[in-house]
Structure 1
Amino acid sequence: MSRIDVIKNNQTRLNKRYKELIEQAYNFRQTDSALSDISEFRAIKLLNKLNRLKYLAREQSKATP
């Protein structure tokens, strides 16, 4: 498995988890605002990781002829 494939697999896994956390934050919004904030914070951290992986994938695709 090439490096770009590993990055893409990680992106897919993290994107799925990000969507779950955003949905969870939305669902908790009305009942428990503290849990909603925690879920949203975790989602933001994951989004940061996704952005870094997107950058790495871009760099890897440029480097590969």
Structure 2
Amino acid sequence: MLKQQDMTETARAVLSALTLSPATAGEVAEAVHISHERCQLILTQLVMAGLSHYQFGCYKRLQ
């Protein structure tokens, strides 16, 4: 997915900021320097695409 041309640079940065350790949308937004709302939208899209996992208010990257 990282090589797909449809993924924006911001989405790529959000996915790169995710680790195997759980992080909230706010923490990821701070790391990538984007708004919380925009980060939340991108994280939701990454979950729908099967690239990340959401549980108990936190996101983490899938292996």
> Do the structures match in fold with TM over 0.5?
no
User: Which structure's residues are more often helix, by fraction?
Assistant: 1
Normalized against structure 1, the TM-score is what?
Answer: 0.35
Structure of higher RCO (CA pairs closer than 8 Å, 6+ residues apart): 1
User: Which structure's residues are more often strand, by fraction?
Assistant: 2
Query: Larger C-alpha radius of gyration, 1 or 2?
Result: 1
